[in-house]
Structures are given as structure tokens and as C-alpha cells.
Amino acid sequence: MENFLLIAHIVSGSIALLFGLMAAITRKGSKRHVQSGNIFFWTMMISSATAIWLAIIHPNPFLLSIGIFTAYFCLTGKLIFIIKSWFQLTVLAVLGLVSSVALIVFDVQDKTISLGSAIGVITLVFAVLDIANQPKGSSKAIYHGIRMGSAYISATTAFTVNAIDFLPWYVGWILPSVIGTTMLFIGIGRFRKRMDM
């Protein structure tokens, strides 16, 4: 069972990284962007679910926190175009709120302040913002881009930290965020210009 979960996690994560990149570099709203984005979403959800499951079987705060963070950002990024009411997004945000608080509480109980706590706090902040500030109109597209982009950065960071061991440890943590955030800002800037926002 564990071997199956591990294989599913690796395969789905690898596919998600590939199609997430395709979605990022293709024209937003195009057929190719939508198709690659859908594949990214579903494979990323499988990767996140298996990560959470594996982290529960063999307690791993890093894997658990990354799994929850990525799943929450993917779900909110994808469903923002489907959700029609404040209540629906709030329900989803509350789930993120509960999950993030749980990550922090687990760390406190173990008398440690680890990466799990940090990611829990970040997820907590975004969940609160989701409840307080509901995106509308064209701002939904920007919200979508930020959330899916953040999920991709999170997944890429998890990959580089675990798979690339020939570079200094801090490179695996910092490089995906630097490159991903830069691409995100450029993409949002182009979208705003196109929409005359």
C-alpha cells in the first residue's frame, strides 16, 4: 500500500510539474492553457492527497504541511470560477483555516516551531483573507493565477528540496520561489495590461 502511494505521489507530482509549466507559459484563457491547467490541477490534487496520507502513516510535518498548503491553493484557485456565493468560498476557507491551525497546534504540542508551523501560518493568513475579501469580476482571474502559481511554486520547492542534493540546501528552498514569483508578477502584469486594469 505504501509503495503504491509513493509511486502515485511521484508520478502525479511529476506530471503536475510538467503541465503546470505548460499552463504558466501559454496564453491565459486559451484552449491549451485550460487543458494543461486541468491536468495540473487533478494530478496536483492526487500528489497532495498521497503526500498527506504518507505523512500520516509515517509522521512527517514537512510533507503534511506542503500537502495541505498545495491542496488548499489548488482548490481555491480552481474553484474560484465555479463558486457563486460568499458562503461557498467561506466553507472552503474554513477548511483551510482548520487545517492550518492543526499544523500549528501539532508543532506546539511537540514543543517545536518548525517549517510546518510557518506553512500553517501562511495558509491561515490566506484562509482569513478568503473569508474577509471575496474576489469579483476580472479580479477572479488574478486570484486564480496567484493561487495556482503559488501551488506550483510549493510543489517545485518540495521537488528541489528532496530530489536535488548536489547544490547547497538553501538553493532548493530559495530558487523556486525567486523564479516562480518573478514569473507570477510578470504574468499578472501582462494580464492587467491586456485587461486595462
Instruction: Return the domain boundaries, the chain.
Output: 2-195
Please choose, from the candidates 86, 191, 104, 184, the residue with its C-alpha nearest in 3D space to the C-alpha of residue 139. 191
CA gap 150, 76 in Å, rounded: 11
pTM of this prediction exceeds 0.85: no
Q: What is the pLDDT of residue 102?
A: 65
Segments in the chain below pLDDT 70: 84-89, 91-92, 95-118, 120, 195-197
